[in-house]
C-alpha cells in the first residue's frame, strides 16, 4: 500500500493510504506530501461529522515541492506552496447546493455532508491544445482546477479525519472511463478552466432568398426565376473558446452524469469551419451550387449558365470564399446564441453514462470528449451513452436560417446572370450572402474584410432597395409582374454594448410586437453586455407592398399619415428618462410638430429654448428624416395610384402605350430621387419601424439579439398576419 504524508501546522502527522484508483498514484509522477494550511485537524479530526462544532470548514493545502502530472512530458504541473484546497460542506439555511459547482441539480442530501479536496495545476505551455489526456481542452499555460466531492452520512459516526483520509486517498482526475467508474456513489468531480471545446457536426442551412430591386428596371419586368428557398446540408467543425466546468456525478443507479457547463460571466468565441468539395466546376460538389439549387426556380438552367460563363479561376475562388465565409459566420452565430442562452446551472452538453454498457467505440468517444473534443458523441448513437441535453441539438433541430440577398435580381431575372455580371459578397455581422451588380458592389465593398460588405453601407443600400422594391411591387399587380416575398432588415454589432445601447436593441423587438415589456427590459445590474449582435427583419408580400401606399379603395395615403407613422417610430425608440428624452416632444405634440413645419429648421432653436446643441441636432435629424421619408412615400403613393387608375380604366391596354410609359417613367424618376436622398437614419431601426407602422404591424418579423450576457430571439411568420 502506498501512503502520503498529511500534516498541519499544529502537530498533525498522518499517513493517508491511497486507493488503487487514486490519481495521486495513476497520474502524479511522484507522490506528494500535503500540509493543511490553517485547519487544526489534530484537534478536530476526532469529532464526528454531525457535531455542532463542525460547521462549514475550509483551508488551503500546500505542496512541499512542484509535482508534474502525466506520463513522460507532463500535461500538468502543481507548483509548490498553496495550490490545493480542502472543505467540509453542510447544508445551509435556504440552500442545499454545492458552492463552486455550476450544475444546479446536485444538492447536499438531508442528514449528509460533502468533503472536498482539490488542486490547482498549470497546463504545460508546450502542449498542443486538446492533445493532453489530462488537460480536458484547457488552453496551454492556463490554470486548471480539479476538485473531488465525497458524500458522507452525518449519523453513522464518521469522523472528520476519516472523511479526510477517504477523500484525499481516493482523489480522482476524470480522464478515463476507469476514473469515472471509481467515483463513489453520490460523489462528483469537477474540472474548471478556460480553453476550447470541439465539435464536428452536420448542419442544415435553410436558404432564404430576398429578391430586391435597384432603381432602373426594365418594363415589363422579366419572369423571375427565384424560389423562396430550401435546405442545404453542410459538414462543419466548431471550436468553442470559453471558461467552462466539466462535472461528473455518480448517481444512485451507478450511472454517471457527465456535463459541460459554461461560466456565465465568460465571453464566448465560436469558430466554425465548413467542409466542401473541391471541384473546379459549378454544379458538382461546391457549396455555392447547392445554395443556388435551393433558391433558384430553375436551378438546372442557372447552373448551366454559370458553367458556360467561363468565369476565371479567381472569380470562382472569390465566390466560394464569400459563400464559405457567410456560412461559417451563420453557423458561429447559431451556436453562440444557444450557448449564450444557456441558463446558469444548466449544462451546454449533458450525457448519462452507463459504464457497464460501454463498447470500445463508446469508451474512445467518451475519452476523446474528456480531452475537449465532443465530435464523436454527436456523430452517432453509442452504446452506454445517452444524450440528456445538447445545445447543438437545438440548432440541428431548428436548422440555421441563411439569408441570400439578391440586390438587383429584378433587373436581370436570373441568379446566374446576376452572379456572372455582378459580385458575390457576404455581410460579416449576420453572415448573410449578398449577390449584387457591380455598381452596388462598389458602393458596399468593405476595405477591411476580404469578400465582405461594409455593414453600414450595405444596411443603407438594402434599405433603399427595399423601399424601391416595395414601390415596384405595388405597381406590378396590374402589370403582370412576379409575386415576391422580400424583407427589410436592420443589423449591427457592438463590441461593447452599454446599457443604453441594449435598451435600443430591445425596444426594436418591443416595437415589432415580438418582445413583451418584461423581455424588453435590460437588467439594471449589467452595464456592459459585451459583444452583442442585433438582426431584425420584417417580411412583406405584394399585398402588404400595396397596403403601405394605397388605402383599400386604391387612393394614395397622405403625407400626414406617413409623418405620423414616422413620429410613432420615434416614440418606440425614445422614452422618458433617456438622456435624449426631449426628442419625444415633436413625436407626441401635434401642435409643436405643426409649428416646426411652419417655421422650418432655422426656427427650431426658438421652439426648443435651453436645449443643448447636440440634442437640438438630434431633433433636427429626426424631423429631416421623417419629412424626407413621408415625402418619398407620399410621392410614390400618388404615382402608384395613377398607374392603377390608368389600368383600371384600360384593363386590356398594352404596356407599350405611351401614356403608361410616361406614368412609369415618372415613377422611376421619383425613385431615383428617393435613392439619391436616402438618409442614413432609414437604415437604422427607425426606418424598419416606420415602415412597419405604415403596414399596420402586419409584416412577418424576426428579432435576434445575441451576446454573452443576454439573448432574445422571436419571430412571427408573414402568413399569420398578411390579411387585414
Whether residue 348 is predicted with pLDDT greater than 90 in this model: the reply is: yes
E strand intervals along 49-100: 57-63, 67-69, 76-78, 81-89
Whether residue 174 is predicted with pLDDT greater than 80 in this model: the reply is: yes
Instruction: Express each pLDDT in 623-643 by its tens digit.
Output: 999 999 999 999 999 999 998
Question: How far, in Å, CA of 204 to CA of 563, rounded?
Answer: 43
Contact 623, 587 (CB under 8 A): no
* Among 229, 302, 224, 295, residue whose Cα is nearest residue 542: 224
| Residue 698: predicted pLDDT | 94
Instruction: Express each pLDDT in 215-245 by its tens digit.
Output: 766 555 556 678 888 899 899 999 999 999 9
Mean pLDDT for 591-608 is 95
Instruction: Express each pLDDT in 274-326 by its tens digit.
Output: 986 544 556 656 889 899 989 998 888 898 888 888 888 888 889 999 999 99
pTM: 0.89
Q: Using 50, 70 and 90 to split pLDDT, how confident is the model at 353?
A: very high
Question: How far, in Å, CA of 432 to CA of 436, rounded?
Answer: 13
DSSP string, 220-250: SPPPP-B-SEEEEEEEEEEEEEEEEEEEEEE
Instruction: Express each pLDDT in 119-156 by its tens digit.
Output: 999 998 766 655 567 999 999 999 999 999 999 999 89
Whether residue 655 is predicted with pLDDT greater than 90 in this model: the reply is: no
Residues 6+ apart with CB under 8 A from 360: none
| Residue 533: predicted pLDDT | 94
What are the Cα distances from residue 336, in Å, to 242, 271, 340, 392, 500?
11, 9, 6, 10, 23
Mean pLDDT for 582-594 is 97
* Among 671, 721, 682, residue whose Cα is nearest residue 470: 671
Name the phi and psi angles at 564, rounded to 5.
-65, -40
* Among 702, 694, 225, 719, residue whose Cα is nearest residue 487: 702
| Residue 128: predicted pLDDT | 63
| Residue 220: predicted pLDDT | 57
Mean pLDDT for 424-434 is 95
Q: Using 50, 70 and 90 to split pLDDT, how confident is the model at 92?
A: confident
Average pLDDT, the chain: 90
Q: Using 50, 70 and 90 to split pLDDT, how confident is the model at 685?
A: very high
Mean pLDDT for 573-591 is 96
Name the phi and psi angles at 585, rounded to 5.
-60, -50
Mean pLDDT for 5-17 is 90
Question: How far, in Å, CA of 446 to CA of 94, rounded?
Answer: 55
Name the phi and psi angles at 18, rounded to 5.
-90, 135
Instruction: Express each pLDDT in 433-450 by its tens digit.
Output: 999 999 899 999 998 888
In the chain, what are the domain boundaries? 3-173, 196-442, 484-720
Question: How far, in Å, CA of 670 to CA of 682, rounded?
Answer: 17
Which range is least confidently modeled, 387-401, 426-440, 463-477, 574-588? Answer: 463-477
Contact 424, 319 (CB under 8 A): yes
Contact 207, 229 (CB under 8 A): yes
| Residue 468: predicted pLDDT | 87
| Residue 71: predicted pLDDT | 82
Question: How far, in Å, CA of 512 to CA of 533, rounded?
Answer: 17
Question: How far, in Å, CA of 519 to CA of 510, rounded?
Answer: 8
Question: How far, in Å, CA of 389 to CA of 392, rounded?
Answer: 9
Whether residue 20 is predicted with pLDDT greater than 70 in this model: the reply is: yes
| Residue 229: predicted pLDDT | 84
DSSP, collapsed to helix, strand or coil, labels residue 564 as helix
Question: How far, in Å, CA of 646 to CA of 641, rounded?
Answer: 8
Could you tell me which residues are beta bridge partners of residue 20?
none
Cα 345 → chain centroid: 19
Could you tell me which residues are beta bridge partners of residue 716?
701
Question: How far, in Å, CA of 166 to CA of 248, rounded?
Answer: 18
Could you tell me which residues are beta bridge partners of residue 557?
none
Mean pLDDT for 79-105 is 90
Instruction: Express each pLDDT in 98-124 by its tens digit.
Output: 989 999 989 999 899 999 999 999 998
| Residue 218: predicted pLDDT | 55
Instruction: Express each pLDDT in 255-266 by its tens digit.
Output: 999 999 998 878
Amino acid at each position: 500500500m502506498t501512503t502520503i504524508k498529511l500534516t498541519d501546522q499544529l502537530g498533525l502527522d498522518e499517513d493517508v493510504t491511497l486507493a488503487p484508483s487514486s490519481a495521486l498514484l495513476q497520474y502524479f509522477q511522484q507522490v506528494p506530501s500535503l500540509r493543511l494550511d490553517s485547519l487544526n485537524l489534530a484537534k478536530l479530526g476526532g469529532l464526528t461529522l454531525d457535531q455542532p462544532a463542525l460547521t462549514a470548514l475550509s483551508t488551503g493545502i500546500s505542496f512541499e515541492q512542484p509535482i508534474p502530472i502525466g506520463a513522460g512530458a507532463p500535461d500538468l504541473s502543481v507548483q509548490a506552496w498553496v495550490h490545493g484546497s480542502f472543505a467540509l460542506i453542510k447544508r445551509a439555511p435556504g440552500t442545499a447546493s454545492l458552492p463552486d459547482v455550476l450544475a444546479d441539480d446536485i444538492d447536499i442530501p438531508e442528514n449528509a455532508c460533502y468533503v472536498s479536496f482539490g488542486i490547482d495545476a498549470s497546463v504545460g505551455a508546450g502542449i498542443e491544445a486538446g492533445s493532453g489526456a489530462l488537460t480536458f481542452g484547457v488552453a496551454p499555460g492556463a490554470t486548471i482546477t480539479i476538485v473531488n466531492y465525497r458524500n458522507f452520512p452525518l449519523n453513522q459516526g464518521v469522523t472528520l479525519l476519516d472523511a479526510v483520509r477517504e477523500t484525499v486517498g481516493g482523489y480522482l482526475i476524470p480522464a478515463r472511463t476507469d476514473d469515472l467508474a471509481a467515483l463513489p456513489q453520490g460523489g462528483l468531480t469537477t474540472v474548471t478552466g478556460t480553453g476550447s471545446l470541439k465539435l464536428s457536426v452536420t448542419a442544415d442551412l435553410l436558404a432564404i432568398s430576398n429578391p430586391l430591386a435597384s432603381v432602373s428596371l426594365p418594363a415589363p419586368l422579366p419572369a423571375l426565376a427565384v424560389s423562396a428557398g430550401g435546405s442545404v446540408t453542410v459538414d462543419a467543425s466548431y471550436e468553442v473558446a470559453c471558461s467552462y466546468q466539466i462535472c461528473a456525478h455518480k448517481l444512485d443507479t451507478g450511472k454517471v452524469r457527465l456535463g459541460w457547463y459554461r461560466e456565465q460571466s465568460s465571453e464566448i468565441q465560436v469558430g466554425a469551419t465548413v467542409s466542401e468539395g473541391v471541384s473546379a466546376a459549378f454544379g458538382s460538389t461546391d457549396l455555392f451550387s447547392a445554395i443556388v439549387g435551393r433558391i433558384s426556380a430553375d436551378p438546372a438552367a442557372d447552373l448551366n449558365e454559370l458553367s458556360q460563363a467561363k468565369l476565371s479561376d479567381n472569380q470562382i475562388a472569390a465566390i466560394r470564399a464569400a459563400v464559405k465565409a457567410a456560412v461559417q459566420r451563420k453557423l458561429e452565430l447559431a451556436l453562440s446564441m444557444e450557448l449564450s442562452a444557456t441558463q446558469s446551472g444548466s449544462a451546454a452538453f449533458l450525457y448519462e453514462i452507463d459504464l457497464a454498457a460501454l463498447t470500445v467505440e463508446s469508451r474512445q468517444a467518451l475519452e476523446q470528449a474528456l480531452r475537449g473534443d465532443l465530435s464523436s458523441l454527436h456523430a452517432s448513437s453509442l452504446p452506454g451513452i445517452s444524450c440528456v441535453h445538447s445545445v447543438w441539438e437545438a440548432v440541428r433541430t431548428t436548422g440555421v436560417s441563411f439569408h441570400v440577398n439578391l440586390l438587383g435580381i429584378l433587373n436581370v431575372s436570373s441568379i446566374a446572370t446576376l452572379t456572372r455580371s455582378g459580385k458575390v459578397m457576404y455581410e460579416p455581422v449576420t453572415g448573410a450572402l449578398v449577390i449584387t451588380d457591380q455598381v452596388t458592389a462598389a458602393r458596399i465593398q468593405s476595405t477591411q474584410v476580404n469578400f465582405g460588405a461594409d455593414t453600414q453601407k450595405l444596411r443603407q443600400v438594402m434599405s433603399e432597395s427595399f423601399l424601391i422594391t416595395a414601390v415596384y411591387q405595388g405597381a406590378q399587380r396590374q402589370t403582370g409582374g412576379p409575386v415576391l416575398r422580400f424583407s427589410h432588415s436592420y443589423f449591427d454589432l457592438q463590441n461593447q454594448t452599454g446599457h443604453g445601447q441594449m435598451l435600443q436593441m430591445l425596444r426594436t423587438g418591443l416595437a415589432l410586437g415580438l418582445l413583451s415589456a418584461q423581455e424588453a427590459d435590460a437588467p439594471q445590474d449589467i452595464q456592459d453586455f459585451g459583444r452583442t449582435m442585433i438582426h431584425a427583419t420584417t417580411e412583406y408580400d405584394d399585398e402588404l407592398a400595396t397596403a403601405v401606399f394605397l388605402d383599400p379603395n386604391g387612393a394614395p395615403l397622405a403625407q400626414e399619415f406617413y409623418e405620423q407613422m414616422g413620429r410613432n417610430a420615434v416614440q418606440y425608440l425614445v422614452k422618458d428618462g433617456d438622456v435624449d428624452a426631449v426628442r419625444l416632444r415633436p413625436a407626441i405634440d401635434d401642435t409643436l410638430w405643426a409649428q416646426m413645419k411652419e417655421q422650418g429648421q432655422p426656427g427650431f432653436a426658438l421652439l426648443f429654448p435651453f436645449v443643448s446643441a447636440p440634442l437640438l441636432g438630434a431633433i433636427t435629424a429626426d424631423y429631416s428624416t421623417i419629412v424626407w421619408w413621408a415625402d418619398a412615400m407620399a410621392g410614390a403613393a400618388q404615382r402608384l395610384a395613377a398607374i392603377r387608375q390608368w389600368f383600371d380604366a384600360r384593363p386590356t391596354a398594352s404596356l407599350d402605350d405611351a401614356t403608361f410609359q410616361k406614368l412609369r417613367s415618372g415613377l422611376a424618376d421619383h425613385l431615383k430621387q428617393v435613392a439619391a436622398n436616402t438618409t442614413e437614419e432609414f437604415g437604422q431601426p427607425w426606418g424598419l419601424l416606420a415602415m412597419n407602422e405604415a403596414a399596420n404591424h402586419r409584416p412577418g418579423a424576426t428579432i435576434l439579439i445575441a451576446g454573452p450576457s443576454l439573448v432574445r430571439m422571436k419571430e412571427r411568420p408573414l402568413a399569420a398576419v398578411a390579411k387585414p
